[in-house]
Amino acid sequence: MQLDFSIILNWLPQFGSALLVTLETTVCSLLLGLLLSIPLSLCKISNIRPLQWFAAVYTSIFRGVPLLVQVFMMYFGIPLVLPVKFTAFQAGTLVFAMNSAAYISESMRGGINAIDRGQYEAAMALGIHYPGMMKDIILPQAIKSVLPSLVNEFISLLKNTTLIASIGLVDILRVGQLIQSRTYRAFEPFFAISVFYYVLVMGLSFLGKLLERRVNKSDRR
Amino acid sequence: MIDVKGLYKDFGSLHVLRGVTLHVDEGEIISIIGPSGSGKSTLLRSINLLEKPTFGEVWVEDRLITPPDPYLHFDVIRASNTYKAMMAAGGEDADVIRKIKEGDLLKEKGFFQKKEGAAYQQMLKKIVTDHFEDTYSVRRKVGMVFQHFNLFPHKTVLENMIYAPIKVNKVERDKAIEKARSLLESVGMLAKENAYPDTLSGGQKQRVAIARTLAMEPDIVLFDEPTSALDPEMVKEVLDVIKRLAKTGITMLLVTHEMGFAREVSDRICFLDEGVLIEDAPPDIFFSTPKSERAKTFLDKVL
């Protein structure tokens, strides 16, 4: 069989807008996930039992159920029992965000626990209240140690967004499927998609490294 | 200035402090010494409530900073049902109070609770409304310097200095910076204002930590083994800073192993052993003629 990569060029406009959908979903999910992970990790380290239980149950659900099932549940299932309606984008983003919040909060908990007791004591001795202590003293240090796993989470999030093709959103994968069904060619589109993702992930890893180096400037001796 | 009354602290089954009573006047410099595990740090940390005492009270500037301890108030004891029952059974007032204070009742949390009656509850509540001060405002008046400095590693020296004054004392940023710079100058660290703590030596970190504590303008400074984590050649630079501070008339409590230093700067030496304060004397008397065998043995070992 003759390979013909010119079809990719013909579909470039579609790929372009699909790429935007992929990036949009990833970035929105990550930001929302990050936001959700902070109260969730605070629940995990708190002394209040019900909060701990809530966070533990939450995490176990999002870890224990396959992501695709979660996406279907949110898009098809939930609107049937609750008075809510999601677009495919909303449902996808929400699930990815809640899912990564579960994972991020887990590594965040580890990062917080790794912080020296003395940091809390110094903050308390200076009369700093709990919210300020967490926001300005503890979390900035914890996030630093969590950054590598945060970059990992970002990368797997980016790759997981392909699942939104299954609820009808036209992301990069969906464009590939369209090309396949129109032209009966599979190698070229999926090869192109693989390259897209590979380049994106490499770019992200690089950015992550840069960010880590920037954040670690206070460690320079 | 500071009144520690009948302080007990248990960590599980370990009795770290066993009835410590200590009075500190304004401007006094007190060194707390004793073998390791004697409860020195725990006593110090009770004064800014980094440790919550099991029993007893701590008063700072005539304000009660711990929950009231009924055992320290005869009138409260007299209002309790336990006391009334013991009196009704034919006791003498002094005798019953002694029994309650010495008895195993001290270990019974039930004594604080409802079964002692409304009058008793009310008297405890009145002590709280009249005298209690919340932990955060106490900590603004009582600064602490730690053995391991505990500077915030993600903030520069200057940021370390100004964070709490701005956040907690609501000082304007410009004023806070000005104050921070003059304090850094006084501990010889102004040149490092933009450095991160991890780039500093131990002695430098501790000098910054002392300046950071002073930036809050505390009335009392607690030093918890400030030189114990330092390399020997850096001990002197930190002690010099503390000595200069001692001359400013600020009230200080130090837990230290530097005996020569304690002798030089202190107004009183408090010797603690197994959670009991067994000597409280001016340094000359303590170091030349200690009263107790324990102190003698200890001094023989460390001097």
What values do phi and psi take at B24, rounded to 5? Answer: -125, 125
On whether the CB atoms of residues B195 and B218 are closer than 8 A, the answer is: no
pLDDT, tens digit, 9 for 90 and up, residues A54-77:
999 999 999 999 999 999 999 999
In which band, very low, low, confident or very high, does the pLDDT at A220 lie, cut at 50, 70 and 90?
A: low
Alpha-carbon distance B263 to nearest alpha carbon in chain A (angstroms): 27
pLDDT, tens digit, 9 for 90 and up, residues B238-294:
999 999 999 999 999 999 999 999 999 999 999 999 999 999 999 999 999 989 999
Task: Flag whether the ipTM exceeds 0.85.
Answer: yes
pLDDT, tens digit, 9 for 90 and up, residues A113-152:
999 999 999 999 999 999 999 999 999 998 888 888 888 8
User: Cα(B253)–Cα(B96) distance, rounded to whole angstroms?
Assistant: 37
Average pLDDT, integer, range A27-34: 92
Chain A residues inside the 8 Å CB shell of B154: 140-141, 144, 218
In this complex, do B137 and A129 lie within 8 Å of one another by their Cβ atoms? Answer: no
User: Cα(B48)–Cα(B41) distance, rounded to whole angstroms?
Assistant: 12
User: Cα(A186)–Cα(A82) distance, rounded to whole angstroms?
Assistant: 40
Entry pTM: 0.83
| Of the partner residues B150, B154, B156, the one whose CB lies closest to the CB of residue A122 | B150
pLDDT, tens digit, 9 for 90 and up, residues B288-303:
998 999 999 999 988 7
Could you tell me what percentage of chain B is helix, strand and coil, using 3-state DSSP and rounding each to the nearest 5?
A: 50, 20, 30
Average pLDDT, integer, range B59-71: 90
Q: Does residue A221 have a pLDDT over 50?
A: no
In this complex, do A128 and B216 lie within 8 Å of one another by their Cβ atoms? Answer: no
